[in-house]
Structure 1
Amino acid sequence: MSKGHDFLITVKAPGKLYIAGEYAVVETGYPAILVALNQFVTVTVEESNDYGTINSQQYKENSLYWKREGNNMVFDNRDNPFHYILSAVHLAESYAQSLNKTMKCYHLNIDSDLDSPDGKKYGLGSSAAVTVATVKALCRFYDLPITNDILFKLSAIAHLDIQGNGSLGDIAASVYGGWIAYRSFDREWLKKARNTFTLNKLISIEWPQLNIELLTPPENLELLIGWTGSPASTSHLVDAVGLEKAEKRSSYQEFLDLSKNCLFKMIDGFHNHSIEIIQKEIRINRELLQHLGKISNVEIETPLLQKLCETAENANGAAKTSGAGGGDCGIVVINKKYATSSLIKEWKKNGICPLNLHVHQIND
């Protein structure tokens, strides 16, 4: 590897969308299905001799400058929007130091096309993608041994340190790409394990309940994505449902059991290349989420998301909210034999923006 300013590393991490299993997936061992999408966060790392910077196209006025004091990064400005990036840097550098790598200065540049050019958030998991891309870029920069499993674990720890809740399914989608079935690890175990094991040991052992399986969709399956124009805060919605679930434990447990049953059947639909099974379970999952919204007093399916789903159902598609709901995106699974032009026209008429996105496979 060359030294100096021509030493440039560039990596990308894709955004994601949930297909099914939302809310239940935040509980240990409960499954969800996600896709990685062909919109990316791009991170470049360029070695520097004296001081380092962290720059983002999205936060042009807030570049961070830092220098080295031994192995520590010392920042000139701590009032910044870069929490996920800094957490990812910290984890990647801890990994590098555990392997006795010499710490360097560098310029870190971040660019994202996960949001619209005018800054609208589509709910594609930009915080997860930037975390994954930053960890991956620095692992390459320091020439560290990296597999998808290690990348997932480092990124999951970094993300959890900032967000505090969530399933980390979006991290998995950004790491592995394509269609995945995901089950969350035991986060209470991880908290304890971090005090017990070295980082090197922690990323090499199995994490209880964690399961990530790459899925192959039926050839006749088409995925449509509509955006309703109102971004939702996943953390706040998950917290709101969390407050209610404590009071309605039996109803919530029933939701979890039914969601797990639904998702296992949907995963079987992928194994059997059956779009009919997948569509049937998409509809069931929508009903379960609507019921969860009612018992939690949280508006998961907004009127516009309801419109998105109803118009899709009328056009032979199976539709539901994606992610935490409350706005953002809805997804439609439809057989390729059906024309979708009239559905798209109907969406636009109702103020729903069709997103021209495709599933992204990761081959490296």
Structure 2
Amino acid sequence: MITAKAPGKLYIAGEYAVVENGYPAILVALNQFITCTIKNANGETGQIISQQYQNNAVSWRRQGDELIVDQRDNPFSYILAAIKVTEEYAKACHQELKVYDLQIDSQLDNQSGRKYGLGSSAAVTVATVRALCEFYHLKVTKDQIFKLAAIAHFSVQGNGSLGDVAASVYGGWIAYHSFDRQWLAEQRKVLSLPKLLTLPWPNLKIEPLSVPTNLKLVIGWTGKPASTSRLVDKIAIFKAEHQVKYHQFLENSRLCIKKMVQGFRTGDLRIIQDQIRTNRMLLADLARQSGVDIETPLLKKLCQVAEQFGGAAKASGAGGGDCGIVAIDSHVDLSHLMIAWQVAGIERLPLTVHYIGDVQRYSLKPTR
């Protein structure tokens, strides 16, 4: 029996801009996991089982008279994509394919099955890839696991940055620069997987960040799940119609993340907090111009309360619900902040940062 796990994640800053090639974001891996267990099947039929996903709903829409199923919020789509890609690699490495039972156990949802917004699709992809690589005795590095999982995840979602995949693979706090997904799509058609995994990917950079000793990360959940894919789709429409405004947002976001990374490098909490507030304002401007509801009323309340107690707060990820993050001095008494959140209907998630191995041992350098 093989067991592998991958942590969930939250975006700290850089949302939406990071979906464009080479633009940065900051993410953190958290100590809630998706676990994938694999064992040889008895007979010719294997199973994919998940207690959490047994009642999973599938979204669909009309395209003319056709019914189009949206698989991007269906976790089984990512599991199947991870299996397909990893087994393609295993076969290229001359491993005989087997029949097995695969079980998924998720901590990234609450007891009623609602998502916290911790990147469950990325974590389930990474956990499945990790488990299958071990099952097929494939000696892979973190970089190779990231690339296999990124290929699988992108084949389903089609419009993400893959930053959540990076956080699940490398752990800790990371600065992530998105790679050229169009390049990947083109190379995928003509190159073998082993060759593709050895190549540098254009614009990709993943850098571990050291955290100021006085920084405490506090996470609040609004109780309303959101669909990242559909929100990103809406921003893509704004991008097409208002290219100059969108480009200005991108450049402002890039400068903000650059300053924030410098705050991590110098251990300056004040700089990090200032840039979290700046990033919140940039996202608010994007929301007003695009008509996309990024900061819901409850997320706004989450931020307002946190600011009253000296924290720098913003929505995490695509917004529209899910979580908000607060960077606050670790010496601050949080009891009154927690009471105010509770009164507002905001749940604090008792999460901590999850590190995977030696964070200083990896750093995918940018390529052009």
TM-score where L is the length of structure 2? 0.91
* Amino acid of the structure 2 residue aligned with 1:168: L
* 2:79 aligned partner: 85
Q: What residue in structure 1 maps to residue 137 of structure 2?
A: 143
1:118 Cα deviation after fit: 1.2
Q: Which of residues 34, 41, 46 is equivalent to 1:41?
A: 34
Instruction: Give, in angstroms, the shift of residue 49 of structure 1.
Output: 4.7
Q: Secondary structure at the match of 2:29?
A: strand
Map of 1:162 onto structure 2:
156
Distance (Å, rounded) in 1 between the aligned partners of 2:54 and 2:128: 18
CA contact (8 A) 2:231 2:292 kept: yes
Q: 1:305 aligns with which of 282, 290, 299?
A: 299
Q: Secondary structure at the match of 2:15?
A: coil
Structure-1 residue corresponding to 2:9 = 16
> Per-residue displacement from partner, 1:236-283 (whole Å, max 9, x unpaired)?
000001101111111111100000000000000000000010001000
Q: Is 2:124 the partner of 1:130?
A: yes
Separation in 2, partners of 1:137, 1:120: 25
CA shift at 1:48, angstroms? Answer: 2.5
* Matching residue of 2:334: 340
Give the letter aligned to residue 10 of structure 2. L
Residue number in structure 1 paired with 2:364: none
Match of 1:58, SS state, is coil
Query: Does the 8 Å contact 2:10/2:118 carry over to 1?
Result: yes
**Distance in 2 of aligned mates of 1:60 and 1:87:** 18
Deviation at 1:61, TM superposition (A): 6.9
CA contact (8 A) 2:75 2:121 kept: no
> Counterpart of 1:197?
191
Instruction: Give structure 1 regions of 4+ aligned residues with deviation exceeding 6 angstroms.
Output: none
Counterpart in 2 of 1:260? 254
Gapped regions of structure 2 (runs ≥ 5): 57-73, 359-368
Describe the superposition over 1:149-200 as per-residue Cα deviations: whole angstroms up to 9, x where unpaired.
Answer: 0000000010011111110000000000000000110011111111221110
* Distance in 2, Cα, partners of 1:121 & 1:191: 29
The corresponding residue for 1:27 is 20
1:231 corresponds to: 225
Partner of 1:74: none
Correspondence list, 1:90-129, <5 A: 90-129=84-123
**What is the deviation of 1:60?**
3.9
Could you tell me how far apart the structure 1 residues matched to 2:258 and 2:21 are? 15
Q: Give aligned-pair identity as a percent.
A: 60
The answer for the alignment partner of 2:280 in structure 1 is: 286
TM-score with structure 1 setting the length = 0.92
Matching residue's letter, 1:32: A
* Residues matched between the structures, number: 340
- Give the Cα separation in 2 of the matches to 1:82 and 1:248: 36
What CA deviation, in whole Å up to 9, does each residue of 1:191-233 have, x standing for no partner?
A: 1111221110001110000000011110110000001111111
Q: Secondary structure at the match of 1:96?
A: helix
Q: CA deviation at 1:59?
A: 3.1
CA shift for structure 1 position 81: 5.8
Could you tell me which of 227, 238, 242 is aligned with 2:236? 242
Does 2:305 align with 1:314? no
Distance in 2 (alpha carbons) for counterparts of 1:356 and 1:232: 20
1:82 Cα deviation from its structure 2 partner: 1.3
User: Could you list the runs of 5+ residues in structure 1 that have no partner in the other structure?
Assistant: 1-7, 63-79
TM superposition shift of 1:106:
1.0
Letter in 2 for 1:22: E
Secondary structure of the 2:21 match is coil
Change (3 A) 1:290 1:144: same
Give 2:274's aligned amino acid. Answer: K
Counterparts in 2 of 1:157 and 1:338: CA distance versus 1, 3 Å: same
Deviations 1:50-82 (A, max 9, x none): 2211111113479xxxxxxxxxxxxxxxxx861
- For the residue of structure 1 that corresponds to 2:30, the secondary structure is strand
2:204 paired residue among 205, 210, 217: 210
Q: Give the Cα separation in 1 of the matches to 2:116 and 2:165.
A: 17
Q: Distance in 1 between matches of 2:233 and 2:189?
A: 26
Map Cα deviations across residues 91-128 of structure 1 (whole Å, 9 max, x no partner): 11001000111111111111001000111211001011
1:52 aligns to 2:50 (yes or no): no
Supply the distance in 1 between the matched residues of 2:285 and 2:87 (Cα, whole angstroms).
44
- CA deviations on 1:297-334 (whole Å, 9 max, x unpaired) are 11111111111001101100000010000111100000
Letter in 2 for 1:33: I
Give a deviation string over 1:14-37, Cα, whole Å, max 9, x none.
000000000000000000000000
Pair 1:180 & 2:174 matched: yes
Question: Residues of 2 paired with 1:122 and 1:165: CA distance?
Answer: 21
